[in-house]
Structure 1
Amino acid sequence: MKNKSICAFLWRHIKPYKWYYLAMIAAPLTSGFYPFAYNYAIKLFLDAMALPSPLTYSRIMFPILLFLGAYIFVEFVWRVSNVAEWKSEPFVRRSILLQSYDYVQHHDYRFFQDNFTGTMSSKLKGLLDGYDKFWAEMHHGLFLKAFKSLVNLCVLSFVNLYLGLFIFTWSILYVPIMYKLSLKLNQLSFEETESRHALMGQISDKITNMISLFSFASRKREFNALDHQISHDFIPKEIRVYKYDFKIQIIGDILYLFMYVFLIFYMIHLKMMNVISIGDFAFVFGITMVVALDIWEVTISLQEFARAMGDFRSSLSILNTPQQNLDKKDAKTLLVKDPLIEFKNVSFSYDSRVSVFKDLTFTINPGEKIGIVGASGAGKSSLINLLLRYFENKDGAILINHQNINDVTQDSLRENIAIIPQDTLLFHRTLRENILYGRPEATDAEVIEASKKAHIHEFITTLPDQYNAYVGERGIKLSGGQRQRIAIARAILKDSPILILDEATSSLDSETEKLIQESLNFLIKDKRKTVIAIAHRLSTLKHMDRIIVLESGKIIEEGTHDILIKNKKSLYKKLWTLQEI
């Protein structure tokens, strides 16, 4: 991506506030003329004082008024800029953050499987930092200094043609050299920032899994791995940026010194030749010093700007990743009256080499309770992922109430499905907020009723803050069973026509499993709901209307528990026997 893409990205957000930004940019444009007015006022003042006749107020009134008028006007324009700033910049930042986050959250499930959470968060933050740095340089940094330099170079040309020609020639040599060097610095900064984002992703991953570090006594190992990544990837790239920046400054120093020495001796020469007055000398020397300082600051700002744009490019790359599995433009809202689910000749693979399903066909009738059984890798979770449209089937069709789920919006599809996963991850919010996530408009009475049915209300009332207690990041303050019961309360409150239980009682102790099973029975017995339950613990599926046995993505057996258990050669019978041992 090139810097023009950065400009296009920023313009999309700035455009609604363009008049405020025009008012803000008027400030540096006005300030560009201030050194001329200031130094010209001093020239007039010195020339008036150098005259042999007595000094009078009338003679120096114009330079005084010029000096004060220029100062007041510039300050007024900057205060207008301040007002425009608070009326626009906070909303532009809001637009950047919200639209960028919205783009990221509409990526498909695979994107979040393949990317570190910390890296994504770091890049989203980098977009705001990039905007702040870009606009700071445009408003009161690089742009202001460059414009002041241009104005003052023009002034010098009018005062003395040869002086102006020298500065112009020097600028023609200086600017392209520094610009070309800054392009290389931009690329190096991009690589360094990519490394930093990856590093933040690794740190986030380690912090997220801190319990695992405790459990496996691996803190030293993870620390050493982080040190290795910092030492062998991040630091070398950072040092390359420092070294190249140092090289640019050396070249800038030499060019700047050459110009500075020439200007000093040329000004002395003009005075010795009586070509200029004392006021002219002060004016030209003052303007020359401003130009020299501004050009040097432009050099520094250009390097910082190049580094910042390299960082910005890296952050902006998160918005250049194409989105997959999006809703069709004419996608409709899924309408579910009687939750009939049909898989018709569905074929699916995660990559082109291994097929998960091939021509999978089966039907789940409205209100039917289905158990899905199979060894690890049989395709149970993949089946659920397809039904939820976390992945899209390439062939065949999945229908709900005779509506192809690929033709409806993903939100309307998932609004009609409640899922209780094996590992429930909660938001770092209150218990009430986490339960309400199933139906945000529910009343407190409905939240309490759902919690009672999920056998979690009794526990919540023992907490000092009760329903206002925070659960910690990912619900870390709660036990696995408590998190599961929160998920069940959420599903009860959501009251969707389709319910998915994905290993909802696995890895729990018997007492907790019993409580959760009682909570689940409340949901399962609801005749309005179509239920799909995945379980390794087959005893939880005994009362299902039908059990489907998967092997290598194919249905090899189906029927009730009583029918399947009687077939001594069935896989279901084999799995049941193994669990009885």
Structure 2
Amino acid sequence: MNTLKSFIKYYKPYQGLFWMDMCCALTLSGIDLAFPLFVKFLMEDVYTLRNPEVMLNYTLVMGALLLGLYILKYFCQYFITSWGHIMGAKMEADMRRDLFGHLEKLSFSYYDETNTGKLMSRIVNDLFDISELAHHGPEDVFISAIKLIGTFGILSFINYKLTAILLFFTLLMLIFSTTYNRRMRQVFRINREKIANVNAIAQDALGGIRVVKSFANEEQEMAKFEEGNAAFLATKCDSYKIMGRFFSGNGFFQGILYLAVVLAGGIFITQGSLQLIDLTVYILYINTFLNPIEKLVNFTEQFQKGMTGFERFLEIMNIHPDIQDAPDAEELKEVKGTIQFEGVSFSYDDKEHVLSQIDMHIPAGKTIALVGPSGGGKTTFCSLIPRFYEVSEGRITLDGRDIRRLTQKSLRKAIGIVQQDVYLFAGTVRENIAYGKQEATDEEIIEAAKKAHIHDFVQSLPHGYDTYIGERGVKLSGGQKQRLSIARVFLKNPPLLILDEATSALDNESERFIQQSLNELAKNRTTLVIAHRLSTIRHADEIVVLTEEGIKEKGSHETLLAKDGVYAYLYHMQFEQ
């Protein structure tokens, strides 16, 4: 019931369309119910008249009335088919918007455990069936209910004994349908999981197609895909077998129902308790009676698919973001840039701490370099500042304010990040640089590109700044992608900088130019630099050596070399190389 209530709330913005759809459905039901009564009236009261002229007049009037009803039926059917589907499509779009918006609120920790291909399946495949249910569900149930109640009342009036027999076989059919509905619901849910797995395998293989081809592993990826595809096919075959028994069983019961009515009707005629014309009209009404039952049978399949999809939709919507703004969170304004770590510990999923009891003061406007062996927690350390992850213990302050008391949006707008793993969006060079400042002018974009030393390269492209760079910037080299990501940060011009191996993909000449630009950008800004290439951070105000055991050393380049500790070991090892 809770699932159904959550589903119904999506009808609220489209109440006008919904009730108009129901009104048209009621009109259609009424016209279908009226037709056998018109036939009965013509056969009993008109065609038995002895005056041909009066009979002709009645026939023409009845014909004109029926024509008018069928014209009305045409417009009602048009509204249901077009605007009814439009309503369903709008509801689907609303759900997709809510789902995408909710996914954007979830923290990095959720995506660390979730496959993107499976999420895409939920955004696209699941919601399509929900759209069909949203449109056809209420309409089919409403039409079926009106027809069943109306037909049952008319049939009972014609002959209640025959109707009792009809009702008995109808109940058998309903028991059969209910039993198979449960089985169909289970198998449809498994189908959803299997096709999501196929999507995940396909996206993983196609996204890394260059790696696949470089290792000549096409056959291995094909085998993985075949395994997932075969598993989906197996559950699909199971679902079709159940559906086959379901629909053929209902077809059998419908045939038995007709047979029972014809046999019982024949017996009642011989006994004189039923007229032949009444049996004819009765049989006409059986079709009207069976039609809504057939609709309900089809609706059950549609309902199972739609509700299964909606339950999977709610599974994600019911995940509460583990990082949220506090109710009284403030906007971050006038940033100076003093950062303080006070007893900060962090672990993934309650496992062993990646960072433990970190105390550190980062003065405003200073450049702090984080170095150390891989796995020491350098990237995690920096990810805690924009609240990509939440501290397990302790707190982090910015200008004396706990970052958990600031809105995430204002906090992250104040921080510029250049990551080691560069991500560029499918689009143009201009669009990717402007991602750092959506309202930027062409002059600002060009200036940012010049600072990142990529302007001359962009000018050499066929369409300059309007050149399409492909998915994830596939048409660019690693160094070019890195410089584009740096240009984004130049354009954003934030008071805080996090440079996570920002020059790792550059050649020596490019690195020298970019390093000069980054040094200029870092002036009077609080800057955190993660670097394995120690030559790039010699002039940092302070170098912090972070290992699995925590902060091992702190100081300037010269001071740490003089200590002859971890930093000196790392530096001399690189120098020797």
TM above 0.5, yes or no, is: yes
Matches within 5 A, 1:130-169: 130-138=129-137, 141=140, 143-169=142-168
Q: Confirm or deny that 1:28 pairs with 2:25.
A: yes
The match for 2:229 is 230
Aligned-partner SS, 2:245? helix
Q: 1:537 to 1:218 in 2, by over 3 A?
A: same
Offset at residue 261 of structure 1 (A) = 0.5
- Is 2:107–2:322's contact at 8 Å kept on the other side of the alignment? yes
Cα separation, 2, equivalents of 1:356 and 1:403: 24
Post-superposition Cα deviations, 1:462-484, rounded to whole Å, max 9, x if no partner, equal 11111111221111111111111
For 1:501, the aligned partner's letter is: L
Cα separation, 1, equivalents of 2:172 and 2:60: 42
The match for 1:9 is 6
- Is 1:116–1:202's contact at 8 Å kept on the other side of the alignment? no
Cα separation, 1, equivalents of 2:182 and 2:2: 15
Matches within 5 A, 1:22-171: 22-47=19-44, 48-54=46-52, 56-61=55-60, 63-79=62-78, 81=80, 85=84, 88-89=87-88, 91-138=90-137, 141=140, 143-171=142-170
Matches within 5 A, 1:172-571: 172-231=171-230, 233-272=231-270, 279-524=277-522, 526-527=523-524, 529-568=525-564, 570-571=565-566
% identity of equivalent residues: 29
Offset at residue 271 of structure 1 (A) = 4.7
Can you give the 5+ residue segments of structure 2 that lack an aligned partner in the other structure? none
For 2:293, the aligned partner's letter is: I
Q: Confirm or deny that 1:580 pairs with 2:575.
A: yes
Q: 1:416 to 1:553 in 2, by over 3 A?
A: farther
For 2:315, the aligned partner's letter is: S
- Is 1:24–1:82's contact at 8 Å kept on the other side of the alignment? no
Cα separation, 2, equivalents of 1:64 and 1:349: 80
RMSD across aligned positions (CA):
2.2
Post-superposition Cα deviations, 1:465-524, rounded to whole Å, max 9, x if no partner, equal 111112211111111111111111110110100001001122433233233323323312
Offset at residue 65 of structure 1 (A) = 4.4
Q: 1:336 to 1:400 in 2, by over 3 A?
A: farther
Cα separation, 1, equivalents of 2:177 and 2:110: 39
- Is 1:543–1:561's contact at 8 Å kept on the other side of the alignment? yes
- Is 1:260–1:292's contact at 8 Å kept on the other side of the alignment? no
Can you give the 5+ residue segments of structure 1 that lack an aligned partner in the other structure? none
Offset at residue 194 of structure 1 (A) = 1.3
Offset at residue 290 of structure 1 (A) = 2.6
Which has the higher mean CA deviation after the structures are superposed, 481-490 or 249-258?
249-258
Offset at residue 63 of structure 1 (A) = 3.1
Q: State TM-score, norm by structure 1.
A: 0.93
Which has the higher mean CA deviation after the structures are superposed, 100-109 or 330-339?
330-339
Cα separation, 1, equivalents of 2:269 and 2:463: 83
Post-superposition Cα deviations, 1:400-455, rounded to whole Å, max 9, x if no partner, equal 11111111111111100000111210111211111111111111101001101111
Cα separation, 2, equivalents of 1:75 and 1:351: 60
Aligned-partner SS, 1:355? coil
For 2:227, the aligned partner's letter is: H
Which has the higher mean CA deviation after the structures are superposed, 440-449 or 302-311?
302-311
Post-superposition Cα deviations, 1:279-328, rounded to whole Å, max 9, x if no partner, equal 53432221112323442343244234323433443344322333211222
- Is 1:45–1:279's contact at 8 Å kept on the other side of the alignment? no
Aligned-partner SS, 2:35? helix
- Is 1:37–1:66's contact at 8 Å kept on the other side of the alignment? no
Offset at residue 265 of structure 1 (A) = 2.4
Which has the higher mean CA deviation after the structures are superposed, 10-19 or 76-85?
76-85
Cα separation, 1, equivalents of 2:103 and 2:258: 51
Cα separation, 2, equivalents of 1:465 and 1:480: 20
- Is 2:545–2:552's contact at 8 Å kept on the other side of the alignment? yes
Offset at residue 366 of structure 1 (A) = 0.8
Aligned length: 574
For 1:195, the aligned partner's letter is: K
Which has the higher mean CA deviation after the structures are superposed, 148-157 or 430-439?
148-157
Which has the higher mean CA deviation after the structures are superposed, 181-190 or 78-87?
78-87
For 1:466, the aligned partner's letter is: G
Cα separation, 2, equivalents of 1:295 and 1:90: 26
Which has the higher mean CA deviation after the structures are superposed, 558-567 or 235-244?
235-244
Cα separation, 1, equivalents of 2:33 and 2:438: 62
- Is 1:146–1:298's contact at 8 Å kept on the other side of the alignment? no
- Is 1:190–1:313's contact at 8 Å kept on the other side of the alignment? no
Cα separation, 2, equivalents of 1:396 and 1:157: 76
For 2:261, the aligned partner's letter is: L
For 1:68, the aligned partner's letter is: L
Cα separation, 2, equivalents of 1:89 and 1:295: 23
Q: 1:553 to 1:450 in 2, by over 3 A?
A: farther
For 1:75, the aligned partner's letter is: Y
Offset at residue 253 of structure 1 (A) = 3.0
- Is 2:424–2:432's contact at 8 Å kept on the other side of the alignment? yes
- Is 2:332–2:406's contact at 8 Å kept on the other side of the alignment? yes
Post-superposition Cα deviations, 1:58-99, rounded to whole Å, max 9, x if no partner, equal 333553344234323333444555685488555433322211
Q: State TM-score, norm by structure 2.
A: 0.94
